[in-house]
DNA sequence: TCTGGGGTCCTAGGACCC
DNA sequence: TCTGGGGTCCTAGGACCC
């Protein structure tokens, strides 16, 4: 068993942020809505108590709640981003071994604090609250999946004081027995239905399942969940966030859009936004996908959800060059007569901007390919001929390896595969 | 009339290539 | 009675996460 991990999660984050600058909202039900005020994306405890569900379309429920004391806010992501950064900075002062998992969550290694976990967690929680006003919950356990369980338990249990540690099997069993099945990290509706077919309907059933059976019947992803529930860490703490593999910008229109001119405008803005986001991370794209959607909630209307990928001759981070490709893609897929409600732009395969110099990046890629070929030969030699049928896609090679060798860690990076699967070099 | 946005991984089928 | 096979890339869609 490794050192204990903590998952620190801000309570009802967006709703808490909104409350921060308006203390009058304390004790009142508060919800935050998504873009275009479409769906409910955050709820204070009081709003949850009213029965408002996550993701509920606002227009369907506003009639029902207008007479309640409900406070409704449009989302303000700049504010949430700023507050998130402040919370994370405070957590970093408690341990340098920290992975920012999302805008409102971080995993922390508690190595070295084993003998005073509780006091340490209480101190963290109090400091974040005092300095930012944001309440957080802390879950402590030997694996990330169990830390998620602990965090949820801390939130649910009023006497926990916002902190829950699940270090012994008895504590873990007790916590798991109080959880809904789909409360588990990685188990949502569809998977729960499929698991129910074979009699697995509670968190404890899943923990006590045979990981190898789960992998054969389901996937390596779910197998990791089982192992982690059993206390075996499978998902390491990622302190350095890896480069994004793709970047997307998309928006729903307020009303249906019919003309090419309106779509060109939208695709233009999305391209510019995505390109900015990409440049901020010092990446460049090898292509651009443009996609459109008609209204899927109106099956009575004609449906059309096309997408088109245009490859760039050379990876680029230049908005003008990418825009040219975007508009060409849009021209390919646009069909008049449909009522479009959403448009988006996706840069699907990003490379470091520094590797792009004129058209040299494809050249620079050649030695890497050669190394990859050699690595695959080595893997085939070790595991038997044909283990990896490899042409050019590291993604597919990784998939083969995971399928055929349960022991291979979950990765799509072939360099990693070489280290874990190949002969020592 | 009004149903989010941004990610990751996986699967399947068809076009195309040698 | 038989219709090649192995491979890549693309489109489309499903599942999960926050």
- Per residue in A19-57, pLDDT (tens digit) is 998 989 999 999 999 999 999 999 999 999 999 999 999
Which residues of chain A between 123 and 152 are close to nucleic strand C, CB under 7 A? Answer: 148
Q: Which residue is nearest to nucleotide C10 (CA to C1')?
A: A309
More confident: A373 or A388: A373
Quick one: tokens of A332?
């390919």
**pLDDT class for A69, splitting at 50, 70, 90?**
confident
Q: Average pLDDT for residues A366-378, to the nearest whole number?
A: 51
**pLDDT class for A218, splitting at 50, 70, 90?**
confident
φ/ψ of residue A230, rounded to 5: -80, -5
Kindly tell me if the per-residue pLDDT of A219 is higher than 90.
no
First vs last Cα of chain A: how many Å apart?
Answer: 28
A186: CB within 7 A of chain C nucleic strand: yes
Q: Average pLDDT for residues A278-286, to the nearest whole number?
A: 95
- What are A109's strand-pairing partners? A5
Which of the residue ranges A59-68, A105-114, A201-210, A278-287 would you say has the lowest mean pLDDT? Answer: A59-68
Position A220 scores a pLDDT of 80
Position A380 scores a pLDDT of 53
Position A412 scores a pLDDT of 39
A265: CB within 7 A of chain C nucleic strand: no
Kindly tell me if the per-residue pLDDT of A198 is higher than 50.
yes
Distance in Å from C15's C1' to A199's CA comes to 20
Q: Alpha-carbon distance A47 to A16, whole Å?
A: 12
Across chain A, what does the average pLDDT equal? 86
**pLDDT class for A293, splitting at 50, 70, 90?**
very high
Kindly tell me if the per-residue pLDDT of A143 is higher than 60.
yes
Q: Alpha-carbon distance A312 to A322, whole Å?
A: 8
Q: Could you identify the residue written with the tokens 């992998």?
A: A215
Distance in Å from C15's C1' to A190's CA comes to 8
Q: Alpha-carbon distance A77 to A216, whole Å?
A: 41
Q: Average pLDDT for residues A111-115, to the nearest whole number?
A: 93
Position A372 scores a pLDDT of 52
Q: Alpha-carbon distance A316 to A279, whole Å?
A: 10
List the strands of the sheet with A30-33, edge to edge: A40-43, A30-33, A71-74
Position A373 scores a pLDDT of 54
3-state helix, strand, coil in chain A (%, to 5): 50, 20, 30
CA distances from A188 to A185, A201, A346 (A): 8, 12, 26
Kindly tell me if the per-residue pLDDT of A197 is higher than 80.
yes
Distance in Å from C18's C1' to A385's CA comes to 41
Q: Average pLDDT for residues A358-364, to the nearest whole number?
A: 43
- What are A107's strand-pairing partners? A7, A99
Q: Alpha-carbon distance A127 to A348, whole Å?
A: 40
Kindly tell me if the per-residue pLDDT of A425 is higher than 50.
no
Position A1 scores a pLDDT of 60
Contact A224, A235 (CB under 8 A): yes
Quick one: tokens of A135?
């309440």
Position A406 scores a pLDDT of 38
Q: Average pLDDT for residues A291-314, to the nearest whole number?
A: 93
pLDDT tens digits for range A226-269: 999 999 998 889 888 888 999 999 999 989 999 999 999 999 99
Q: Alpha-carbon distance A95 to A111, whole Å?
A: 9
Quick one: tokens of A47?
């709003």
Q: Which residue is nearest to nucleotide B6 (CA to C1')?
A: A248
Distance in Å from C18's C1' to A30's CA comes to 20
Distance in Å from C8's C1' to A392's CA comes to 8
Position A394 scores a pLDDT of 46
Distance in Å from B17's C1' to A159's CA comes to 66
Q: Average pLDDT for residues A81-107, to the nearest whole number?
A: 95
Q: Which nucleotide is nearest to A333 (CA to C1')?
A: C11
Residue A377: CB partners within 8 Å, gap ≥ 6? Answer: none
Instruction: List CB-based contacts (under 7 A) with strand B.
Output: A 34-36, 38-39, 41, 55, 57, 59-60, 219-221, 244-252, 254-256, 273, 277, 295, 297, 341-342, 344, 395, 398-399, 402, 410, 412
- Strands A283-294, A136-141: pairing is unpaired
Kindly tell me if the per-residue pLDDT of A365 is higher than 50.
no
Distance in Å from B12's C1' to A82's CA comes to 43
Calculate what percentage of chain A has a pLDDT beyond 70. 84
**pLDDT class for A176, splitting at 50, 70, 90?**
very high
Q: Which nucleotide is nearest to A410 (CA to C1')?
A: B9
Q: Average pLDDT for residues A115-131, to the nearest whole number?
A: 96
Q: Average pLDDT for residues A212-238, to the nearest whole number?
A: 89
Quick one: tokens of A198?
């074979």
**pLDDT class for A210, splitting at 50, 70, 90?**
very high
Position A314 scores a pLDDT of 87
Instruction: Enter the pTM of the model.
Output: 0.85
Distance in Å from B7's C1' to A91's CA comes to 24
Kindly tell me if the per-residue pLDDT of A272 is higher than 50.
yes
pLDDT tens digits for range A384-419: 444 443 433 444 455 455 444 433 433 334 444 444
């Amino acid at each position: 068993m490794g050192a204990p991990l903590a998952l620190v999660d801000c309570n009802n984050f967006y709703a808490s942020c909104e409350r921060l600058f308006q203390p009058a909202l304390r004790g009142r039900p508060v919800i935050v809505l998504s873009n275009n005020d479409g769906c409910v994306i955050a709820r204070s405890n009081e709003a949850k108590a009213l029965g408002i569900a996550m993701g509920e379309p606002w227009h369907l429920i506003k009639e029902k709640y207008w007479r309640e004391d409900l406070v409704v806010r449009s989302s303000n992501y700049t504010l949430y981003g700023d507050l998130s950064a402040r919370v994370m900075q405070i957590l970093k002062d408690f341990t340098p071994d920290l992975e920012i998992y999302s805008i409102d969550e971080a995993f922390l290694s508690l190595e070295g604090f084993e003998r005073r976990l509780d006091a340490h967690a209480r101190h963290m929680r109090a400091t974040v609250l005092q300095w930012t006003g944001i309440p957080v919950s802390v879950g402590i356990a030997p694996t990330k999946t169990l830390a998620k369980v602990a965090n949820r338990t801390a939130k649910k249990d009023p006497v926990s004081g916002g902190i829950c540690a699940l270090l012994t099997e008895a504590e873990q069993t007790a916590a798991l027995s109080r959880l809904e099945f789909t409360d588990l990290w990685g188990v949502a509706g569809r998977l729960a239905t499929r698991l129910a077919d074979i009699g697995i309907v509670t968190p404890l059933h899943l923990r006590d399942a045979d990981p190898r059976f789960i992998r054969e019947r389901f996937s390596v992803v779910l197998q990791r969940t089982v192992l982690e529930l059993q206390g075996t860490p499978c998902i390491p703490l990622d302190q350095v966030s890896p480069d994004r593999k793709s970047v997307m910008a998309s928006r729903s229109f307020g009303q249906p859009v019919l003309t090419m001119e309106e779509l060109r405008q939208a695709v233009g803005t999305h391209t510019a936004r995505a390109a900015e986001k990409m440049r901020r991370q010092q990446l460049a794209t090898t292509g651009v996908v443009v996609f459109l959607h008609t209204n899927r909630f109106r099956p009575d209307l004609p449906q059309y959800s096309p997408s088109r990928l245009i490859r760039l001759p050379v990876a680029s981070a230049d908005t003008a060059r990418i825009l040219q490709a975007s508009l060409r893609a849009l021209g390919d897929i646009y069909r008049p007569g449909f009522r479009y409600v959403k448009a988006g732009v996706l840069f699907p395969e990003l490379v470091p901007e520094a590797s792009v110099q004129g058209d040299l990046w494809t050249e620079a890629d050649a030695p890497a390919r050669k190394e990859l070929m050699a690595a695959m030969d080595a893997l085939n030699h070790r595991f038997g001929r044909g283990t990896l049928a490899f042409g050019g896609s590291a993604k597919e090679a990784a998939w083969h390896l995971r399928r055929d060798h349960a022991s291979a860690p979950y990765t799509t990076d072939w360099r990693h595969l070489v280290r874990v699967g190949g002969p020592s070099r």
